[in-house]
Structure 1
């Protein structure tokens, strides 16, 4: 997440430039600014909190800023949207290694699990292939699959969340 000073500098740079719209995404945070003809800038920030389901919480900040006309200060409206976790009781099933994620044992077979399926600690939820070794990944918890976070065939990193379990 950007610090307030960095955000102010970014707003100032966009305001002084001739661009009308600016978007930036990094580590689950999104910033989008649009300049309107009347020289106001709108900023929206969305912060992802550890891949949980989110409910938006909206705050408004009004900040006086000088417009391009030297003697006329003008207020700019900045809308900050922070997303707060709906449920903190979700368990992440993470990849124990770097490799390729496979949702099913073979291309023509059905996926091990999908959203809404009940799992037990020893339920196989996917395969992570590394160096031609196919490693079955178990749920390690009892619960229900809330979300599948990766696509079939996607490369995954060590510790990357694969599933959310309630």
Structure 2
């Protein structure tokens, strides 16, 4: 079972509302658990049938608590970015790993703010377990904002880019 199939399985389980799914195949066993009341905490455990190796990965990044200073801002200020960003499409990370904007250190970045992209264009690379996975665009539009710094760790479903589809 490859990484993309596991990701699709996680998405399916999260959307279905199931609290736990177990999948056993030839050499691996996968258990995906979601909290019955809290769909934010989806975990996957994967380990060989004969071994004890366990891996837990949060399926969605949890938001840090809001400080009291941020709560004291006027309501209009807090709502402004949400309204402004609502017309944009967010490109999210399909996997956990390290985000890279360039194919290698001596090359140019894949995309810059203001670049036009089309379906299939490579936006970035995410390294996971020594494998470099090219992340391709599923939409056409213009890059408005890069939300992650180069060489930063990213979580599954973490926003990477804002794209203006118009």
TM range (shorter): 0.5 to 0.7
* TM superposition score normalised by structure 1: 0.55
The aligned residue for residue 44 of structure 1 is 72
Shift of 1:142: 0.4
Change in 2 beyond 3 A, CA 1:83/1:140: same
Which residue of 28, 32, 35 maps to 2:69?
32
Deviations 1:19-75 (A, max 9, x none): xxxxxxx63744329xxxxxxxxx6247xxxxxxxxx71xxxxxxxxxxxxxxxxxx
Report how many residues are paired.
100
Cα distance in 1 for residues equivalent to 2:69 and 2:151: 31
Deviations 1:76-118 (A, max 9, x none): xxxxx42232242211111101000000000111100010000
Q: How does 1:1-20 map to 2 (within 5 A)?
A: none
Q: Do structure 1's residue 82 and structure 2's residue 110 form an aligned pair?
A: no
* 4+ aligned runs moved over 4 Å, structure 1: none
User: 1 or 2, which has the higher strand percentage?
Assistant: 1
Q: How does 1:51-66 map to 2 (within 5 A)?
A: 57=76
Q: How does 1:117-136 map to 2 (within 5 A)?
A: 117-136=115-134
Cα distance in 2 for residues equivalent to 1:28 and 1:90: 25
User: 1 or 2, which has the higher helix percentage?
Assistant: 2
In angstroms, what is the RMSD of aligned CA positions? 2.1
* TM superposition score normalised by structure 2: 0.55
Q: Do structure 1's residue 111 and structure 2's residue 139 form an aligned pair?
A: no
Gaps spanning 5+ residues in structure 1: where? Answer: 1-25, 34-42, 47-55, 58-80
